[in-house]
Amino acid sequence: MTAGVIAQAMEERAAGDGVASLPAERALLEAVRRVMRRPAGWRALVVHVSRLPERRPYHGRIARALLEEAAPRVDGQIHALSSGDLLLFCREDTRALRGLVAVLERLFPENLVSLWSLENEALNLIAYAAGRLSEATQVSSPASLAEKSPGFGRLLDPPPTPDPPPLAALMRRESGIRLARGRMTLAFRNWRLDPALLAGWDAGGTGADPALLRHHLGSLDGDVLAALIAAAGTGLPLDPVPHRAHFSAWAGEPPPPLHLHLSLAGVMAADFSSLASLCRENGVALAVVLAFEEVCADPKTLEAARRVIATSGALFALDGIHAETFACAAPAALGPDFLILDLSPALAERSARDVSRLLYPLGGDQIVLRGADDEAALAWGVARGISLFQGRHAAAMAAAARMFACPSAQNCSLGQCITRAAAAAPEGRFGCAEPALLDGARPPPEREGGKA
């Protein structure tokens, strides 16, 4: 018996089993019969959301969003079933389809994503559809269906969630310092969406899964770019190119470079070019910080993103480099302008010669040592020729320089200055009488050399 005949028999049986009252299963049945007439060149992609051991509503919403994004590029049609599973009929073996499958397999546990060629594996689809029909017809009413499958019917209309906080409340501003020739200066401003803050807001949601959390962070890149463009010239905490009047602490010098964490999709967005243009016109050096894990997973998009970065006059930085990274990869070979290296006990055991070998051909002024939380960490980096630092101790040194330059420092503590400088929302700066200094670590002329 051919697959097409089986599909027709299934439809005839289902007609008497009450499947007509289940629009999702009915639509799947009709689609199976239609594609089986000419199966060549078609595939069925199934995300088995119903098999998740600890299923939450956000699993289905994220899978649905990924399928909807890819469907136009693969000539696809999506079916959301009462079990929570999602099925996409699409053209066979396209680059877009392979990319979608790769993302889904990274986000969901093993064996929860199936891809069948309808020309050679049609019986797998038939068996799957038969199983879903059998389950659906055992449900006596829509009420019991909702009880059996929480979240069904809410993929298009998801359940209400707490209103997200303002974007600035999810962002973190950090200072990067440079130690060279016995002097400390502000090397760059580092801005990123903070995974801990996002996970705290979305407790029990995407914060429960690191992979889905990274995807959620990337989906907010468009909002981040729009917010930075809107803040340009206002002197607010998220102003990427503050007017010189708001930057009196820099005595006419350009604002410090901006290191902005984005996903590959964020770099390819139209607003990125607009932001890069704003920075270029105002003399702000912009560096795009990309996650090493993401660029390794999508080399084709990385190639396109690097062309956009270069055309925009921006620099390219790699984040997420750990001691363990060097066991299987050579991140410096990607040729970043900056490499952000996470300090850990395993890395601290490496000798100066070993570190230089791992980071070759990058120089010490291209390595940012993150995790500079005490004097020992700074000493370790300096001994290995590293001059750029981020961490609690680096933030305290930058705050001490600001307080030396601040005429109102007697009213503040070092901890308050550190906290206010990290805030991306205006209310986070409440109590600071010299907010322009929060973006600078160099004293203005009248305070240089300790003069009032």
Q: Quickly list DSSP for 391-411.
A: SHHHHHHHHHHHHHH-TTGGG
Rounded Cα gap, residues 77 and 443, in angstroms = 61
Considering only residues 252 and 73, tell me which one the structure prediction assigns the higher pLDDT.
73
Which of 137-146, 246-255, 349-358, 361-370 is least confident? 137-146
Taking the C-alpha atoms of residue 84 and residue 274, their distance in angstroms, rounded to an integer, is: 40
Q: Specify the range with the lowest mean pLDDT, choosing from 251-260, 284-293, 441-450.
A: 441-450
Average pLDDT over every residue of 416-441: 82
More confident residue, 278 or 248: 278
Per-range mean pLDDT, top range of 12-26, 35-49, 414-428: 414-428
Residue 450 has pLDDT above 60, yes or no: no
Q: Which pTM was predicted?
A: 0.63
Question: What is the pLDDT at residue 23?
Answer: 61
Question: Mean pLDDT, to the nearest integer, of 44-59?
Answer: 81
Q: How confident is the model at residue 140 (pLDDT cuts 50, 70, 90)?
A: very low
pLDDT band at residue 444 under the 50/70/90 scheme:
very low
42-47 and 86-91: which strand pairing?
antiparallel
**φ and ψ of 296, to 5 deg:** -70, -35
Q: Which two tokens stand for residue 144?
A: 């019991």
- Mean pLDDT, residues 357-379: 91
Q: Answer whether residue 27 shows pLDDT above 80.
A: no
Q: Averaged over 255-279, what is the pLDDT?
A: 92
Residue 152 pLDDT exceeds 80: no
The HSE-up count of residue 117 (CA atoms within 13 Å, CB side) is 7
Lowest mean pLDDT among 180-184, 205-209, 436-440: 205-209
The number of angstroms, rounded, from the C-alpha of 237 to the middle of its chain's C-alpha atoms is 21
The least confident of 53-62, 96-105, 143-152 is 143-152
So what's the pLDDT on residue 135?
65
Residue 201, pLDDT score: 58
Asked whether residue 191 carries a pLDDT value surpassing 60, the answer given is yes
> Higher model confidence: residue 321 or residue 245?
321
State residue 353's pLDDT score.
85
Residue appearing with tokens 């079916």:
79
Confidence check: pLDDT of 66 > 90: no
In the sheet that holds 86-91, the strands lie side by side as 77-80, 86-91, 42-47, 113-117
**Res. 171 pLDDT band, cuts 50 70 90:** confident
More confident: 354 or 274: 274
Q: Can you state the percent helix, strand and coil of the chain, rounding each to 5?
A: 50, 15, 30
Return the structure tokens found at 243.
Answer: 């007017």
Q: Which long-range contacts (CB under 8 A, 24 or more apart) does 344-348 make?
A: 344/371, 346/322, 347/322, 347/323, 348/380
53 vs 316, higher pLDDT: 316
Average confidence score pLDDT of the chain: 77
Reply yes or no on whether the pLDDT at 412 is more than 60: yes
Q: Which of 127, 99, 107, 7 is nearest to 47 (CA)?
A: 107
Please tell me the predicted confidence (pLDDT) of residue 10: 45
Q: Is the pLDDT of residue 13 over 50?
A: no
pLDDT on residue 381: 93
Contact partners, residue 15, CB within 8 Å, separation at least 6: none
